[in-house]
Copies of this chain bind each other. A is one copy, B any other.
Amino acid sequence: ALRPLPLGAATITAGFWRDRQDVNRKATIPAAGERLEEAGTLRNLRRAAGREPAADGFTGRLFADSDVYKWLEAVAWEQSCEPSEDLAERQAATSALVAAAQEPDGYLNTYVRLASPGGRFTDLEKGHELYCAGHLLQAAVAQYRATGDGTLLTVATRFADLLAAHFGPGRVEGVDGHPLIEMALVELYRATGTQSYLELAQYFVEARGHGLLVPPGHHGPAYFQDHLPVREVRILAGHAVRALYLASGATDVAVETGDTELLDALRSTWQTMTESQTYLTGGAGSRWYGEAFGDPFELPPDTAYCETCAAIASVQWSWRLLLATGDTKYADQVERTLYNAVVSGVSLTGGEFFYVNTLKVRDGAYADDQRSAVAGRQPWYGTACCPPNVMRTLASLDQLVATSDQDGLQLHLYAPATVSADLHGEPVGLTVTTRYPWHGKVSIIVTESPGSPWTLSLRLPAWAEGCTVTVNGSEEPIGQVGRSLPLHRRWQQGDEVILELPVRARRTLPDDRVDSVRGCVAIERGPLVYCFEQLDQPEAVVLDRTAVVAGELVESDQPGLLGGVTTVAVPGRLPDGSATTLTAIPYYAWANRSVGPMTVWIDAR
């Protein structure tokens, strides 16, 4: 098993992700503070804390507290990257407000406090109380780890103690309709060592699928992730975010309790999801209705839901399975999902968000819902789960760059970075230089090394057929890609490893069972999925009636376009048979100029 590096041990120093992190820090997070105020979300806390009249009631959706917690988590992680007075002030003030809103016995939920007094734990199906609690716990652990500030941790442990005393075998039997608490409790257990948190997480995982929840409306038990015991699930169904948060929590429980049967079940389910229930972008959740997974191979690009939160949850799950197994296929999926389905969820300026990450918009499309991509990115949402989820993900991205195990270090995400770690008590350091994902050369220089041999492992992505690796200029044998390449030797300061990834535009064919894209291709380049946006095409092109044909894919670096992208020109054919040239841009960057027809998959017959 792999271990995360200590916080701060890996730092992304430049490039694609650092640019996004800078925008997140400077624009997105501060603006979100204002949105949380405008939406009444912070006011709910002030009313619950008695700083404003509680009788004025609650504003927003009943899970609104969670938006504050996710934002606080982002604020915390940002400070592990770089301290900031502004962030520290926001953290202190808001954490104090959260603490003040906590009830004397440790319970905390402003909706129940203000709008449903006496309603504690009476609507586990829809109430989201444990979901909100889970985000509180995660924010508290982040704050404690990132800044040493224990304000939220105290709030979190008091609430977790109440939950542990309330729920469980011989106490109240119940689970929350929206999973999340499971992984949050394991994280709190890791931060505090309190065994009852792990036991409660284990209970919540095992108690599902036994009918404790009573579906209140049209949706069946899968929507609430209560249709099967977790260890019997092999194909995900129901609400995608719920399914993936639960899978992440169950993975945590399996790892902490050494439950290999549960871990094997989860790995099998992940495999099925990745092969048949995940879009090329890494997006998960085919259905608007119930925000749900579709049946295997039900992956329509136009009606894809692909909620930003589901992509983030998928990254969390894949990351946990990577740590548990060391298998690079999980890291490949983390990378694919981050570069496409996650970062598509926020605009280049950082001020607007997608809730739904569709893979296709037609001519004449109509938006009858704020979440529709056709409505364009929005500054905030009535259900505002996605924006702060993107914020905490970007703010904590450094943590996904590398891991360690007893033999050495593993690099997972290729970005300009510094990595330092401790191998059996001795320091090791790396500097990574690259223009990835735009160009394939990754240089890794050893800046510090123990005298004894250790292993530097490089992920060779499954798409990277033909990559090469040199160590101090001599080529290493590669063999298969889609695996980890372990370089074991007595490393010296100044040693240089160069990984050359074949970052070139390529055509990707779909599985024939995905009927909605049969006969189509997509363009990919390195980890990036591309798309055709109407405004880049010649005037005569109607995307739904245009095909791509064989011929060279011509790449152009466009430093002035969309923050700097490489575009791909693709030979095409109009309905009348005449030739044309289509232009593809990275999918994540679409809808930053205007919103119109767009497609990832295009006819290739």
Contact = CB atoms under 8 A, between A and B. Distances in A.
Interface of A: 218-223, 227, 235, 237-238, 286-290, 292, 294-298, 300-303, 360, 362-371, 382, 512-513, 515-520, 544-545, 575, 601, 603, 605
Given A222-B368, A367-B220, A545-B512, A298 B288 contact: no
Given A295-B365, A302-B295, A605 B516 contact: no
Contacts of A301: 515
Contacts of A219: 368-369
Given A518-B518, A518-B603, A519-B605, A366 B237 contact: yes
A177 to B, nearest CB: 14
Contact of A368 (B221, B302, B371, B520): B221
Given A300-B300, A512-B544, A516-B516, 9 more contacts: A219-B368, A286-B303, A300-B302, A301-B515, A512-B545, A515-B517, A515-B520, A515-B544, A518-B603
A518 B289 CA distance: 24
A446 B489 CA distance: 100
A298 B303 contact: yes
20 contacts: A218-B370, A218-B382, A235-B364, A237-B366, A287-B303, A288-B289, A289-B289, A289-B369, A292-B368, A295-B365, A295-B366, A300-B303, A512-B544, A512-B603, A513-B545, A515-B601, A515-B603, A518-B520, A518-B605, A519-B605
B223 A296 contact: no
A327 B37 CA distance: 59
Contact of A519 (B221, B223, B287, B518): B518
Contact of A218 (B238, B297, B369, B601): B369
A371 B290 CA distance: 13
Nearest to A382: B218
A450 to B, nearest CB: 51
Nearest to A518: B519
A520 to B, nearest CB: 8
Contacts of A515: 301-302, 360, 516-517, 520, 544, 601, 603
A237 B292 CA distance: 22
Given A382-B218, A519-B519, A303 B302 contact: no
Contacts of A367: 220
Contacts of A286: 303
Nearest to A517: B515
Contacts of A292: 368
A296 B542 CA distance: 13
Given A235-B366, A287-B288, A218 B371 contact: yes
Nearest to A375: B220
A218 B382 CA distance: 8
B368 A290 contact: yes
A367 to B, nearest CB: 7
Nearest to A234: B364
Contacts of A303: 286-287, 294, 298, 300, 303
Contact of A220 (B220, B300, B360, B368): B368
Given A290-B368, A295-B366, A366-B295, A513 B222 contact: no
Nearest to A293: B366
A223 to B, nearest CB: 6
B362 A295 contact: yes
Of the candidates A221, A237, A544, A575, the one having the most CB atoms from chain B within 10 angstroms of its own CB is A544
A368 B242 CA distance: 15
Nearest to A601: B515
Nearest to A362: B295
Contacts of A235: 364, 366
Nearest to A301: B515
Contacts of A370: 218, 220
A287 B287 CA distance: 9
A61 to B, nearest CB: 10
A544 B297 contact: yes
A74 to B, nearest CB: 26
